[in-house]
């Protein structure tokens, strides 16, 4: 009995010591976890030069910019999640992602679903085959043509708007729109003669020319729909919004933001540009 009492007392002492030590270790682990947060970034990584996979590694303007934002802000790392375009906003709303960084144009319809932080300005360009006899310079030249664009994007909506207002309303032939999952797939459709023209972001079309100089060229010379792009944040997620905005402002103050824009041939929106899209 004496042996059993001593044994029980020893076990009780060990448990008490373990119980005292546990909260301290748990607090340390919690602090370490909170200090290194992983930000899940949803992006359609098929859109060079903005965001794409190079040898399986996320690359491009958006990736470099997000990594710089995380670096100057500190306290978190990034995890890029490659997702097709149509699934980006639903994924953000269902908390699959923390933010969207996918060269997403700011539109009234998108602002009704998510919050957006403006950061760059771009326009449209038209891509054709090198041997094409069709050389459209602006929106009015698209009437009666077969045009390819990415599914579920502002590009597709703009083509439909041009067809309705500049073609059909003016007694001209409507545009035949064919939609594809990604920009590279649209370019392949152009090369395969499934479409006559690719309607896409100007920087993306220049990247396509750089990649396929003997096969495609940009024919457009007119302005289409100058637009501001933004980083998507879930509505109500003020903490994440402020964290990203703070990092972006630090990049701007240091001059690194302008350098990065220049590297990729992009431009920053003016205050007027931002007000025009954010107050629609």
For the domain made up of 37-122+226-278, give the CATH fold: D-Maltodextrin-Binding Protein; domain 2 (3.40.190)
Q: What would the pLDDT profile of 167-225 be if each residue is shown by its tens digit?
A: 999 999 999 999 999 999 999 999 999 999 999 999 999 999 999 999 999 999 999 98
- pLDDT less than 70: residues of the chain: 1-36, 280
User: Domain ranges in the chain?
Assistant: 37-122+226-278, 124-218
Q: What is the DSSP letter of 164?
A: I
What residues have CB less than 8 Å from 277, skipping those under 6 apart? 106, 107, 118, 227, 228
**Portion of the chain with pLDDT greater than 90, in percent:** 83
Q: What pLDDT, on the 0 to 100 scale, is given for residue 36?
A: 54
Q: What pLDDT, on the 0 to 100 scale, is given for residue 75?
A: 86
Task: Copy the structure tokens of residue 252.
Answer: 């701007």
Q: What pLDDT, on the 0 to 100 scale, is given for residue 6?
A: 38
CA distances (Å), 57 to each of 39, 51, 60, 102, 151, in order? 17, 10, 10, 15, 24
Q: What pLDDT, on the 0 to 100 scale, is given for residue 24?
A: 40
Q: What would the pLDDT profile of 252-268 be if each residue is shown by its tens digit?
A: 999 999 999 999 889 99
End-to-end CA distance of the chain: 84
Q: What is the DSSP letter of 151?
A: T
What is the architecture of the domain spanning 124-218? 3-Layer(aba) Sandwich (3.40)
Q: What pLDDT, on the 0 to 100 scale, is given for residue 142?
A: 98
Can 37-122+226-278 and 124-218 be said to share one CATH topology? yes
Q: What pLDDT, on the 0 to 100 scale, is given for residue 4?
A: 41
> CB-based burial of residue 111 (10 Å sphere; 0-12 exposed, 13-18 middle, 19+ buried)?
middle
Q: What is the DSSP letter of 267?
A: B
């Amino acid at each position: 009995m004496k042996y059993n009492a001593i044994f029980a007392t020893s076990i009780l002492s060990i448990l008490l010591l373990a119980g005292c030590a546990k909260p301290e270790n748990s607090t340390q682990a919690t602090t370490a976890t909170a200090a290194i947060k992983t930000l899940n970034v949803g992006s359609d990584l098929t859109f060079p030069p903005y965001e794409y996979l190079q040898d399986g590694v996320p690359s491009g303007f958006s990736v470099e910019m997000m990594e710089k934002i995380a670096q100057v802000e500190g306290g978190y790392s990034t995890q890029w999640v490659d997702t097709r375009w149509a699934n980006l906003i639903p994924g953000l709303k269902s908390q699959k992602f923390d933010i969207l960084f996918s060269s997403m144009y700011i539109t009234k319809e998108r602002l009704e679903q998510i919050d957006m932080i403006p950061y760059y300005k771009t326009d449209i360009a038209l891509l054709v085959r090198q041997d094409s006899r069709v050389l459209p310079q602006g929106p009015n030249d698209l009437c009666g043509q077969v045009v390819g664009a990415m599914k579920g994007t502002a590009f597709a909506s703009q083509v439909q708007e041009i067809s309705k207002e500049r073609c059909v309303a003016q007694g001209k032939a409507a545009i035949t729109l064919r939609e594809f999952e990604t920009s590279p797939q649209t370019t392949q459709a152009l090369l395969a003669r499934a479409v006559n023209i690719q309607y896409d972001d100007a920087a993306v079309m220049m990247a396509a020319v750089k990649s396929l100089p003997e096969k495609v060229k940009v024919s457009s010379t007119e302005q289409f729909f100058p637009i501001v792009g933004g980083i998507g944040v879930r509505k109500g997620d003020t903490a994440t919004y402020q964290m990203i905005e703070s990092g972006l402002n630090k990049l701007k103050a240091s001059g690194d933001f302008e350098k990065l824009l220049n590297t990729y041939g992009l431009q920053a929106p003016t205050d007027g540009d931002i007000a025009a899209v954010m107050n629609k």
